[in-house]
Amino acid sequence: MKKSNKTLLLIMILLLAFSLVVVGCSRGSDNDNGDDEMIYLTLEELAEYDGQDGNPAYVAVEGKIYDVTNSSLWDGGVHNSHQAGQDLTQEILNDSPHGTSVLDRVPMIGEIVE
């Protein structure tokens, strides 16, 4: 390979690596929406987000609200006979084989208020 071709290839690889670093650094945690985008709902308001009739699917655990809308495990707002739109703290802590660890896979979008 000619020296100019090697130089061009090296430049392209460096640009690609730089682009990947910039994109990776600009992304926040997938589990945190940021304080400015947080929502605050009562349990009564949370009930509207049951994943039914086109509504998003939110669940609350230990006072935090998680968006499970895009989780394949919550198809139609239901997972293992549990309906979205509810506080599932007791179910997660007492009955779930996975506990709260799976909540890291979905965005935490807000908090429950009185």
- HEC letters along the chain: CCHHHHHHHHHHHHHHHHHHHHHHHHCCCCCECCHHHCEEECHHHHCCCECCCCCCEEEEECCEEEECCCCHHHHHHEECCEECCCECHHHHHHHCCCHHHHHHHCCEEEEECC
Domain count, the chain: 2
What digits encode the pLDDT tens for the residues 86-105? 999 999 999 998 899 999 99
Per-residue model confidence (pLDDT) at position 20: 63
**Are 23 and 55 contained in the same domain?**
no
**Are 55 and 89 contained in the same domain?**
yes
**Are 8 and 53 contained in the same domain?**
no
**Are 44 and 86 contained in the same domain?**
yes
Tell me the residue range of the domain where 1 lies. Answer: 1-29
**Are 44 and 98 contained in the same domain?**
yes
Q: What is the CATH number of the domain that holds 103?
A: 3.10.120.10
Read off the pLDDT of each residue in 24-38 and give the average, rounded to a whole number.
56
How far, CA to CA in Å, does 9 sit from each of 15, 16, 21?
10, 11, 19
Range from 3-12, 49-58, 90-99 carrying the lowest mean pLDDT: 3-12
Whole-number average pLDDT of the chain = 86
**Are 24 and 45 contained in the same domain?**
no
